[in-house]
């Protein structure tokens, strides 16, 4: 916790020196003093740590937010529900929720909303309706990430090829949506063949299982032209399977992570087909949710959208919007696409 606090102070200090945020409060920050609550369904990985720290640093931009209380559901739905109820009982004015358990969280959100707390779930859909069960839901169109990957594949493999997609648990909505986006872009060309299990190979986002799945596919398909994955860093252990089979690592369309960028820099020279394209892992999604909650509670100006966009990040072919980035001296588990400075993230994950 101390490190988290230090991290936030560092962010606040750097914000003071480098931007106008503290000179003039952002437009979403109104005059009314409030206390803010933030609950997570599961907080135990580096992505969540960076996301939570991003939320804190966003809230720190608004002087009307007098305190921010955080609770980690630790993957336990019951705890996530009681965390929300606890926040309401404590009397927070606004509550931002990462509803990992989806619809199971809806009753708790509804009761918070009905108790007069500004309630803003984000990222995972809890069902229900804005204005009935909560104030507003801040979503992200996963289908657009699929479209971005598809468009890049068309550029690097204009003559078509075999596409292998990997995602998390069977049927997870993120993977299903991304797959839809890919098909929308690639199917009309009739040049691309989707190989492996459909809609995607199940890896549970687990590096060991990813390794087994990928080695099975390498043996099975003599030609894999591009791999699409929604969790790039988990592939770092699995991609050397191509080298073991004396094959060049194929093109990769995925999400960013420092460990992946460094892996690409180390290996792309020996693997001529290894081109890399990443979308942002979206740690800053939490910032938009905070903006909305604070705007509604303090009487600030509402942000213009409730959708957090899928942003492209690295492209090894064009270098736009960014070339592949690697900060070798910093830990692998940080996300250079996030607004939170890399060094602050490094302190967070090193604890």
Partner 1 sequence: MGSDTRTVGQTEAKAVVPRGSRNVLSRGLATVVAATGLLFLLSELVASSSVTRGTLLTMFPFASALAIAGLGQTLVVMQGGIDLSIAGGLSLYVVIATKYPAGVNSRLWPAIGIAVGAAIIAGLVNGFLIGRMRLNPIVATLGTNALLFGAVLWYSAGIPTTTTARLSRVGGGVWLGIPIPVYIAVVTTALVTVVIKLTPVGRRFEGVGANATSAFTAGIRVRRYAGGAYVWAQLLYCLAAIVHASIVNQPTAYEGNNYLLPSVAAVVLGGTSLLGGRGNLVATAVAALFLSQLDQFVLALGVSYAARTLVQAGALAVGVAIYTIDWRVVARRAFPRRASTLAPT
Query: Which positions lie near partner 1, rule CB under 8 A?
Result: 43-46, 48-49, 170, 196-197, 202, 206-209, 211-213, 215-216, 218-220, 233-234, 236-237, 240-241, 244-245, 259, 331-333, 349-351
Q: Are strands 201-202 and 161-167 parallel, antiparallel or unpaired?
A: parallel
CB of 127 to partner 1, least distance (A): 25
* Residue 137, burial from CB neighbour count under 10 angstroms (0-12, 13-18, 19+): buried
Between residues 120 and 213, which has the closer beta carbon with respect to partner 1?
Answer: 213
Between residues 103 and 212, which has the closer beta carbon with respect to partner 1?
Answer: 212
Q: At which residue do the structure tokens 């490190």 appear?
A: 3
CB of 239 to partner 1, least distance (A): 9
CB of 287 to partner 1, least distance (A): 21
Q: At which residue do the structure tokens 């791999």 appear?
A: 227
Radius of gyration of the chain (CA): 21
CB of 138 to partner 1, least distance (A): 24
CB of 328 to partner 1, least distance (A): 10
Between residues 101 and 297, which has the closer beta carbon with respect to partner 1?
Answer: 101
Number of Cβ within 10 Å of residue 269's Cβ equals 8
């Amino acid at each position: 916790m101390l490190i988290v606090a230090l991290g936030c102070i560092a962010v606040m200090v750097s914000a003071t020196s480098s931007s106008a945020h503290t000179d003039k409060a952002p437009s979403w920050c109104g005059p009314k003093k409030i206390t803010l609550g933030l609950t997570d369904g599961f907080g135990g990985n580096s992505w969540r740590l960076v996301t939570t720290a991003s939320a804190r640093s966003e809230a720190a931009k608004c002087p009307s937010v007098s305190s921010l209380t955080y609770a980690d559901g630790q993957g336990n739905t019951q705890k996530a529900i009681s965390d929300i109820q606890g926040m309401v009982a404590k009397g927070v004015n606004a509550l931002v929720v990462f509803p990992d358990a989806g619809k199971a969280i809806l009753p708790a959100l509804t009761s918070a909303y009905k108790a007069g707390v500004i309630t803003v779930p984000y990222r995972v859909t809890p069902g229900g309706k804005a204005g009935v069960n909560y104030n507003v839901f801040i979503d992200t169109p996963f289908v657009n990430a699929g479209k971005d990957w598809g468009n890049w594949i068309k550029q690097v493999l204009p003559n078509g090829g075999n596409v292998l997609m990997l995602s998390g648990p069977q049927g997870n909505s993120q993977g299903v949506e991304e797959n839809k986006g890919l098909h929308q872009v690639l199917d009309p060309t009739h040049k691309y063949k989707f190989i492996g299990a459909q809609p995607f190979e199940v890896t549970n986002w687990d590096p060991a299982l990813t390794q087994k799945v990928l080695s099975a596919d390498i043996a099975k398909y003599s030609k894999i032209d591009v791999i699409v994955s929604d969790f790039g860093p988990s592939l770092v252990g699995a991609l050397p399977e191509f080298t073991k089979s004396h094959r060049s690592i194929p093109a990769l369309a995925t999400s960013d992570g420092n460990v992946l960028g460094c892996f690409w820099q180390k290996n792309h020279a020996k693997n001529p087909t290894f081109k890399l394209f990443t979308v942002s892992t979206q740690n800053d999604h939490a910032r938009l949710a905070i903006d909305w909650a604070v705007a509604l509670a303090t009487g600030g100006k509402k942000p213009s959208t409730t959708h957090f966009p899928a942003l492209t990040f690295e492209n090894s072919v064009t270098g736009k919007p960014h070339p592949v980035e690697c900060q070798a001296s910093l830990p692998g588990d940080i996300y250079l696409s996030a607004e939170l400075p890399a060094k602050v993230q490094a302190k967070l994950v090193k604890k």
